[in-house]
A and B are shown apart, each in its own frame.
Chain A
Amino acid sequence: MATRKTAAKPNVSADELKTYYHDMLLIRRFEEKAGQLYGMGLIGGFCHLYIGQEAVVVGLEAAADEGDKRVTSYRDHGHMLACGMDPNGVMAELTGREGGYSKGKGGSMHMFSKEKNFYGGHGIVGAQVPIGTGLAFADKYLGNDRVSFAYFGDGAANQGQVYESFNMAAVWKLPVIFVIENNQYAMGTSQKRSTSSPEIYKRGEPFGIPGEIVDGMDVLAVKAAGEKAVAHCRSGEGPYILEVKTYRYRGHSMSDPAKYRTREEVQNMREKHDPIEHIRQMLIDGKHATEEDLKEIDKSIKDVVNKSADFAKESPEPALDELWTDIYADVAPQDEDA
């Protein structure tokens, strides 16, 4: 683990801190609820929770601007909530209902929002990295100053297409931030068992891509690094790599017994490095908020999450016709005179 940076503390406002606290806690409570619904059989298939990693996406979204794009893997619930997607729509997709973002057809791993520039939700490890690079290619081509975030895991970092992407992004100076969410495990394989040199952020060096390692349990450090990366990309300097060190508290997916690590290891992260607890302490210690204020936030989040669960249970299953829709986009009618 990188050591905790608190350097960013002085210039953060109370409101900002409260926002981060709220956004991270929303993800955590949402994921706990999703785990519960999975246990009840209301969610099926694969379901990968983001608990423990909340600071990564909340910090980077704080550095992003309107119109910036993001794409990630199957561990995507946190990204969707952090970029402003509606918890009801996300939860209803988890239960496979009509009210879900993909009308119930995508499920936990495959959700998208054109409105929020969220490009999924991808199940094949590493496949989202060239896609994120392509989002940036399109922005450069179209001549706007948008930046794309391509999120992937420490395990995905061993896929060849990641390095093919690095090369193209560097050659064509594409405005893409490669975000490696290094939670130290790829399913049951610890990073040290699979990876020759553990410092993934340095892997851009031969391509001329600057990289940085960031404490992913500290939302302020993530935001600061994100701002630097965004500025670099937006000014036309090309891609940037952020290796964000984080930790997932739960198993890889709902069916992972997680015997490859000790309970102590997990407890230690939870008790000493929890990203939400960290901000909570800053709020209390800095007298930016009282216990009562925070209880208020907790309660409002609980309401939102409970509502999303109710919505996800009550939303009807998709109509059977939906099986046959969205396979092809409609072709615009040809103008006969043309």
Chain B
Amino acid sequence: MPTQVLMPALSPTMEEGTLAKWLVKEGDTVSSGDILAEIETDKATMEFEAVDEGVIGKILVSEGTEGVKVNDPIAIMLEEGESADDIDDDAAAPAPAADSAPDGKAPAEAEKPKGADAAPLEIKSNASPDWPEGTELQTQTVREALRDAMAEEMRADDTVYLMGEEVAEYQGAYKVSQGLLDEFGDKRVVDTPITEHGFAGLAVGAAFGGLKPIVEFMTFNFAMQAMDQIINSAAKTLYMSGGQMGAPMVFRGPNGAAARVAAQHSQDYAAWYAHIPGLKVVMPYSASDAKGLLKSAIRDPNPVIFLENELMYGHSFDVPVMDDFTIPFGKARIWKEGKDVTIVSFGIGMKYALEAAEKLAEEGIDAEVIDLRTLRPLDYDTVLASVMKTNRCVTVEEGFPVASIGNHLSAVIMERAFDYLDAPVLNCTGKDVPMPYAANLEKHALITTDEVIEAVKKVTYR
């Protein structure tokens, strides 16, 4: 029976791809493991292998086609002894629903990566702009902005270097360091063995010794291997040495949940690091913040934890075209002004905060949305001023609920703006469970826009 070859999902976040090249033609006999085609995913060009043996009966999607959806038929395979005439119309039709999950929804569809590569959001900042009016803007992904920030700082200061697993020859596990090896060579873009505690400690020593290391953790889950060096060596030495020496360095990489990678690979460490005096902690949302804050982080004379997010790497935002664009730490950004409630968030939490604000606006609730951008230092003044205006506050973050950033903000607001509050501050967080793998459970473990909307309605008594 002729069988369909379907467009494969070749990465955890892929929804569609480009069929770059066919390596077989109609009539070719292929066996399991043969390369059929090259497919460009959201991250890389991948080879697509045959799983079964057979003959290529018909190619349905010609090479060069962009935006081919995962699971669309791209070719028809024939078994031994069949001919192209055996291909009926059914075989070329979209995949049948037989392979779908019990609820009738294909899992691929049911668990769309949370907003990967979506269009830029409509809401624009209208308060305290980070660049002069009239500055030329370009659209960039968060990934590109981070790379440019590192490249610019490496050009400006040759004591800045990058080290981590797969940062050089592989161009970064998530392609953030793409092109840096070519430009700066292997003295300054250093592939390490898988030995996080070792290379983090080594980088602390290099920082003591006069360099400005950027340490990339493939993800922050693996920084737990290096936790002692980050906290006990990097964060505390300036204090312990009475100010003689510290660790001017950046620890950066993706933090938080990706898509379906389960408990050991899905955790938000924002609150963990924010707990530590001696560390600065940055968690950008937009591409311009990623760029401006990373440049500031590299220049900062302290150890900076720079928390990125894999799901945000492919998102595009406006980034100013400037010779030297930086954003100072400790300055929150008001994404949307409003009078009814203050929603405070940071990092990928902003996605839920902004979506909620947009939907609430349709219902006549005017939310002010604040992106903290840096958690240490934290811009309490902006938050407090807003709460004094709106008298209500909801915090949004992906991390666990206990001892969260939201808990901390609630305490500060209670101490300093108690008389202004018309409702308790509510914290929206991830659930108090390790991240499950199953698609349906993962969705429930994460924070959702609906939960933010619900919390806002509670504090506004709607």
Contacts and interface: CB of A to CB of B under 8 A. Distances in A.
A93 B433 CA distance: 19
Interface in A145-187: 155-156, 158-160, 186-187
A208 interface: no
B43 interface: yes
A33 to B, nearest CB: 8
Contacts of B444: 320, 323
A324 B169 contact: no
A93 B434 CA distance: 17
Given A42-B107, A44-B107, A46-B265, 5 more contacts: A39-B9, A44-B437, A46-B12, A110-B263, A123-B262
Contacts of B71: 40-41
B322 to A, nearest CB: 34
B194 A96 contact: no
B431 interface: yes
Given A41-B107, A270-B33, A188 B441 contact: no
Interface stretch (A13-21, A135-143, A252-260): A252-260
Contacts of B6: 39-40
Contacts of A123: 221, 262, 264-265
A16 B191 CA distance: 44
Given A195-B193, A257-B45, A323 B441 contact: yes
- B32, B108, B432, B439 pick with most chain A CB within 10 angstroms: B439
Interface stretch (A60-68, A220-228, A234-242, A311-319): A311-319
A270 B102 CA distance: 38
A35 interface: yes
7 contacts: A102-B437, A124-B222, A194-B191, A317-B101, A317-B438, A323-B444, A327-B434
Given A109-B264, A124-B222, A254-B10, A96 B437 contact: yes
A333 B216 CA distance: 47
B436 A104 contact: yes
- A93, A103, A317, A322 pick with most chain B CB within 10 angstroms: A317
Contacts of B263: 105-106, 110
Contacts of B198: 160
Contacts of A38: 8-9
A125 B194 contact: yes
Given A155-B193, A158-B193, A324 B433 contact: yes
Contacts of B99: 40, 42, 313
Interface string B1-30: 000001011111010000000000000000
Given A159-B195, A160-B197, A322-B441, A45 B165 contact: no
Contacts of B107: 41-42, 44, 95-96
B8 A39 contact: yes
A189 B170 CA distance: 8
Interface string B438-460: 11110011000000000000000
Contacts of A186: 193-194
A188 B169 contact: yes
Contacts of A255: 10-12, 14, 41, 43-44, 46
B436 A323 contact: yes
Interface string B213-233: 000000001101100000000
A104 B441 contact: yes
B12 A159 contact: no
B362 interface: no
Interface in B101-143: 101-103, 106-109, 111
Contacts of B431: 323
Contacts of A39: 6, 8-10
A contact residues, range = 35 or more
Given A194-B193, A258-B47, A260-B169, A124 B259 contact: no
Given A158-B194, A318-B438, A187 B173 contact: yes
A105 B437 contact: yes
Given A96-B439, A258-B47, A317-B440, A44 B259 contact: yes
Nearest to A255: B11
A32 B50 CA distance: 10
Given A188-B169, A314-B102, A41 B194 contact: no
A107 B12 contact: no
Contacts of B439: 44, 96, 317
A287 interface: no
B70 interface: yes
A126 interface: yes
A255 to B, nearest CB: 4
A44 B194 contact: no
A182 to B, nearest CB: 14
A314 to B, nearest CB: 7
B260 A105 contact: no
A40 B108 contact: yes
B44 A257 contact: yes
B173 A124 contact: no
A35 B436 contact: no
A198 to B, nearest CB: 13
Interface in B355-386: none
B51 interface: yes
Interface string B150-192: 0000000000000001100110010000000000000000011
Contacts of A97: 438
